């Protein structure tokens, strides 16, 4: 499961880091982190896909959000028994507190 999460998070972190640094032109002397390279990459992708380059970042963000939902759904499904046990344990004290409060009311003078 750790490998699965690493293989999911590493590309997202790499892409997000590159996008943020190149968008704000924080190049540190590396061409790939310049705004010029940023615009060139999205221009090339736009030509390949046949869409305007400005529409690509929102599409990528939606794809990342959808993939993240799938990853968390898979994790939730794999751990459903633990989650259900945690939920039942969390609900149990409130039921016993209700019984104690009823006992306290019945023993009142």
SS (H, E, C) the chain: CHHHHHHHHHHHHHHHHHHHHHHCCCCCCCHHHCHHHHHHHHHHHHHHHCCCHHHHHHHHHHHHHHHHHHHHHHHHHHCHHHHHHHHHHHHHHHHHHHHHHHHHHHCCC
pLDDT at 40: 95
Query: What share of the chain in percent tops pLDDT 70?
Result: 84
Domain ranges of the chain: 2-78, 80-109
Average pLDDT of the residues in 19-42: 92
For 51-98, the pLDDT digits (tens) are 999 999 999 999 999 999 999 999 888 888 888 888 888 887 655 555
pLDDT at 100: 60
Query: What share of the chain in percent tops pLDDT 90?
Result: 60
pLDDT at 91: 85
**pTM, full prediction:** 0.70
């Amino acid at each position: 499961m750790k490998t699965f999460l690493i293989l999911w998070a590493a590309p997202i972190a790499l892409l997000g880091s590159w996008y943020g640094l190149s968008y704000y032109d924080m190049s540190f002397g590396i061409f790939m982190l310049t705004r010029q390279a940023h615009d060139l990459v999205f221009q090339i992708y736009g030509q390949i896909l046949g869409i305007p380059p400005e529409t690509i970042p929102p599409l990528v963000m939606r794809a990342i959000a959808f993939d993240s939902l799938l990853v968390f759904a898979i994790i939730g499904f794999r751990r459903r028994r633990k989650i259900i046990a945690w939920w039942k344990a969390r609900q149990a004290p409130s039921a016993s507190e209700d019984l104690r409060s009823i006992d306290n009311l019945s023993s009142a003078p």
